[in-house]
Structure 1
Amino acid sequence: MLTVSNYHYIREDYSAPYPSIFGVTPTAFKKQLKLFKNEGDLITPSEFLANYEELVVSKDNFFFITFDDGLKEQFDFALPILDELGMQAIFFANSMNTEEGRVSTVHKIHLLRSVIPSHLLLDYLKEQKIAMLTQEELQKATTNYRFDDTASAELKYLLNFKISFDVQELLVQSIFEKHFLESEILESLYMSKSQLQYLANIDCLGSHTHTHYPLGLLREDKLIYELEHSKNYLEQLSGKAIQMIAYPYGTPEACTDLVAETAKKVGYLYGFTTKKGIIEKSQNKLLLNRFDCNDVVGGKNYKP
């Protein structure tokens, strides 16, 4: 049995005027890894690639650790803990941050929500004549973002799935530059090229696409670019094959059959969604289940 647990932020302090960035502390991360170790075996990315077929049908428990977004804090805090415990994880990074020197819009949103309440950001969007969510869409939003309050879930769904990317980036950027200096955020938030190279050299680097867009909403030409460009960039940067990808957002809207087919065509062997559940043998290898770390043993929402 193979269980994948996914992480994003890992830092000591999550305090903010309006808490919107959530994750685990290094202490909680270490504790959860030890719980995994008590219940089964943690596998490395190399072991995942080499033994996938055997792992998914085994009656034994196997755990695989993943991190999304290529954040510097993952390198600074998670990697030393993994090394200390003799474990490995795979770190999925976006290529835009190092190649173009830009902060991903999704992280601009996280940062803005930490200093501005969600209902004021929604008011701003209304002032810009942005259409609000239907009741059906609002229900989807609260399901997708079950850890957020209603206003935050509505805001995130609007920005991630409803507003066109060009409009979204203009709206977000116009507010972001009033509160943050992009060059400073870029330096503090994301792994450097040398850190990405280090992870690739120990076979722990994967792709999270180029710009962190929800792939299922893109035109096919842009979809191909997002998948192929990030793969090529990371391979050229590191000199190592990039064989696994984690799809941004990971929801059904972002992870369509076309996304999986395209990922396979450009050379990925495995792709990860955010659909909860253990990995089943019958699953498409490019649309694999993955738990949020809060939903597995040791997580705040875990129910045995």
Structure 2
Amino acid sequence: MSDLTVVMYHYVRPIAKSKYPSIKGLEFDLFKEQVKFIKNNYNPVTIDEVYESFYNGHKLPPHAALMTFDDAYSDHFKYAYPVLKEHGMQGCFYAPAKTIVEKEVLDVNKIHFILASCDNVSELISNTKVLFDLFRDGHEVKEFEEYFSELAVANRFDTKEVIFIKRLLQVALPEEMRKNICRALFNTHVETTEEEFCDELYMSQEQLSQMASDGMHIGSHGYNHYWWNKLDSETLNNEIDKSIAFLKAIGAHTENWTACYPYGSSSQEVTDILRGKGCKLAFTTAVDVAKTDVNDPLLIPRLDTNDLPKEATAKTNQWFR
């Protein structure tokens, strides 16, 4: 049996000094400390070693750790990649292809930066209701207050009000309606054009190709960053096929390819389709340390960066197994 600690990262940047100091992410200085903590207490492994452990019984070293980075942010190329190279560690980067191919900011990222640009969440909810009423014609939707009652449930990182905004605009409303609301809120609260923001926020195809050729692992995070478990079979198949084509285009490995579920959106149908298309490893947002002789290789749990200490000399915590 081999235990595997997979760590999940999103924004990694000098946040306090940035234009969006309230964006939820990891300060770059703390990332450097956490990498040292992992080097001091864990044994970093590669995606190939993880594959061999799941499929061929290869025993991983004690306290094996793998670093994963979601959404192909330019942060990862500018800040995370050089640190990983310095420490001889491999990172696994999961890119939603549309952001790079079509230069379109994902709604999930629009929501992050809308929230980061607003001091008053209650006022944002009121503005969202105005737009909800404006764009609801032609759509079968519930009343705004019903959505709040159903969706406003706090989690370990966000208040119920923030969760409500995220869930309403990420998945609960019809796609056209939520895109219109996101676009209007983004144009109001984020002072830049979408194309300029996209170039600033995400990696380029050339940067991903450079990392792939330099020993980093690039995997699928879908094309549109949809909730995979909300898609019909035809749309899901198209979503995965387009993401695989993107991996080929940047020179990433497409034999024994890997995936990361957008929003952790796995299901039996999703894993069956991934398996049928040759996906060998897939990462969820379930919080746990993986066991390579127990977990389904297409349902690998991960820890969030906030689950591990961010000081090089810190003591280990309950996740050190």
Q: TM-score, normalised by structure 2?
A: 0.84
Q: In the alignment, is residue 138 of structure 1 matched against residue 141 of structure 2? A: no
Deviation at 1:119, TM superposition (A): 2.0
Structure 2 match to 1:2? 4
Do the aligned residues in 1 keep the contact of 2:151 with 2:168 (CA within 8 Å)? no
Deviation at 1:16, TM superposition (A): 7.4
Aligned residue identity for 1:222: T
Matched position secondary structure for 2:89: coil
Distance of aligned partners of 1:169 and 1:14 in 2 relative to their CA distance in 1, 3 Å threshold: farther
Q: In the alignment, is residue 216 of structure 1 matched against residue 198 of structure 2? A: no
Matched position secondary structure for 2:158: coil
| Separation in structure 1 between the aligned mates of residue 150 and residue 295 of structure 2, nearest angstrom | 28
Which of 173, 181, 194 aligns to 2:183? It is 173
Q: How does 1:92-241 map to 2 (within 5 A)?
A: 92-116=94-118, 117-127=120-130, 128-129=132-133, 131-132=144-145, 133=147, 135=149, 137-139=151-153, 142-143=154-155, 146-178=156-188, 179=190, 180-201=192-213, 202-238=215-251, 240-241=253-254
Aligned residue identity for 2:241: E
Do the aligned residues in 1 keep the contact of 2:283 with 2:301 (CA within 8 Å)? yes
Structure 1 match to 2:67? 65
Deviation at 1:44, TM superposition (A): 1.8
Do the aligned residues in 2 keep the contact of 1:245 with 1:268 (CA within 8 Å)? yes
Deviation at 1:135, TM superposition (A): 4.3
- In angstroms, what is the RMSD of aligned CA positions? 2.4
| Separation in structure 2 between the aligned mates of residue 296 and residue 54 of structure 1, nearest angstrom | 29
Structure 2 match to 1:261? 272
| Separation in structure 2 between the aligned mates of residue 73 and residue 17 of structure 1, nearest angstrom | 14
TM-superposition CA deviations, 1:231-284 (whole Å, max 9, x none) = 11221232632611111111xxx2111111111122211111100001122222
Do the aligned residues in 2 keep the contact of 1:16 with 1:114 (CA within 8 Å)? no
Unaligned stretches of 5+ residues in structure 2: 134-142
From the CA coordinates, give the structure whose radius of gyration is larger.
2
Which of 280, 286, 297 aligns to 1:275? It is 286
Distance of aligned partners of 1:16 and 1:74 in 2 relative to their CA distance in 1, 3 Å threshold: closer
Greater relative CO, 1 or 2 (CA 8 Å, sep 6+): 2
Q: TM-score, normalised by structure 1?
A: 0.88
Distance of aligned partners of 1:17 and 1:155 in 2 relative to their CA distance in 1, 3 Å threshold: farther
Structure 2 match to 1:248? 262
| Separation in structure 2 between the aligned mates of residue 122 and residue 134 of structure 1, nearest angstrom | 10
Matched position secondary structure for 2:69: strand
Aligned residue identity for 2:262: P
Deviation at 1:223, TM superposition (A): 1.4
Aligned residues: 296
Deviation at 1:106, TM superposition (A): 0.7
| Separation in structure 2 between the aligned mates of residue 136 and residue 225 of structure 1, nearest angstrom | 31
Report the more deviating stretch, 68-77 or 258-267: 258-267
